[in-house]
Amino acid sequence: MMANDTPMGLQVSQAGVASIRLLVVADKITATQYISFLLPFLPLIDCRQAAVALVNCSKFPSPLEKIYKDFDPTHLILSRCSQLSAEVLLKRAARDGIASIYHIDDDLLNVPPSIGAEKSGAYNNSERQQALRHLMTAAGLIYASTAPLKAALSGLRGNEKIVSGTIYCAVDPDTLPQPMVSASPIIGYMGTASHFNDLVMILPAIERLMDEHPILRFELFGSIQMPDQLARFGNRVMRHEADLNYAGFIHKLQSLGWWIGLAPLEDNDFNRCKADTKWVEYSSAGMAVVASDLPVYHRAAADGAGLLVAEGGDWYGAIRGLLVNGAKRREMIARARARLETDYTLDALRAQVLEVLAVAKARAGTSA
């Protein structure tokens, strides 16, 4: 096992004498921290060159200093953290000359109502906003997941210390499985409840396709709920429960056999800062991707590795074209998976993170 659970909920690989020891602290440990820090370092963890601890700050704020002391990190990373209790770690890191990084993968300072009233209200709470700004500016470096997100944060005090990545979600080409394609056509959408409005945008196209193709199925995967409009299709629609374990989530996605994975996205400033995660995950599962024509997906879907639909465009025609043309669909999947194996590898992501770590260490006044 690469990591283990302690009674406190700490996920940690054994530190030992590892030369890279990442203490990653978040409000809640989710796929974000696994994707960004644990997965790319698994090869180094295996050979004890690196260790990664993922700490759920909100569950046990009181022993944070003890965790820090016991783990003895080379880098402190606050990932989407808004708990002021984590400030004690930033002060400790500064005192010890340890590099500190604030990692962010959404524009959490400008969360729109479209993700849902309850969720946007929680994110836009004034105390939480103040805490976010304070922790971000107090960290030695800010690591934004995308260049547009870096630009969106440019008004933040201390913006001269923001760096951005070119890769967010990545795969191991050596373990990329062969696609498991269903014998009958299935189109699907994978996402959380906050993306319900994105799905609603393309419901007319989905309904029309379901009406015209009696054997077509539509499935959801995640916490997003099935829209009421699709209830009339009975057992031809279904939802798969979310798997909170990221490895389990990917395994489940790869077993669904969808012909096409859908990635609609409302065109707003918040979404333009996002990464192309859905394209990576769909493509790794052997699904053709139909996505919104936004900069988020331009690089990934270029040269026939995905099909992009402009705002107000023909989602029905785009999806139908791939359903009825198997050769075109298979060619798209092949192009996407070839791109994964060259441009979206865990090796490339690890190199990116190592560069960020080096910059943070230099800023902390220690040798890179």
Q: What is the DSSP secondary-structure string of 97-122? A: T-EEEEEESS-TTS--GGG-HHHHHH
User: Quick check: 6 and 12 in contact, CB under 8 A?
Assistant: yes
The structure tokens listed for 52 are: 């990664």
User: Quick check: 286 and 181 in contact, CB under 8 A?
Assistant: yes
pLDDT interval class at 63 (50, 70, 90): confident
- Mean local confidence (pLDDT), 169-190: 94
DSSP string for 317-362: HHHHHHHH-HHHHHHHHHHHHHHHHHHSBHHHHHHHHHHHHHHHHH
* Nearest of 98, 168, 96, 104 to residue 135 by alpha carbon: 104
pLDDT single digits (tens) 147-173 = 999 999 998 877 789 999 999 999 999
CA 192 centroid distance within chain: 12
Q: What strands lie across the sheet with 11-12, from one edge to the other? A: 4-5, 11-12, 50-56, 20-26, 75-79, 99-104, 141-144, 162-164
Of 29-43, 54-68, 104-118, 268-282, the one with minimum mean pLDDT is 54-68
User: Quick check: 203 and 230 in contact, CB under 8 A?
Assistant: yes
pLDDT value at 9 more than 70: no
Q: Give dist(CA 115, CA 196) in Å, integer.
A: 8
| More reliable by pLDDT, 269 or 114 | 269
pLDDT interval class at 10 (50, 70, 90): low
User: Quick check: 174 and 184 in contact, CB under 8 A?
Assistant: no
User: Quick check: 183 and 215 in contact, CB under 8 A?
Assistant: no
The structure tokens listed for 341 are: 């194996």
pLDDT single digits (tens) 187-226 = 999 999 889 999 999 999 999 999 999 999 999 999 999 9
Angle (CA) 240 112 278, round 5° = 40
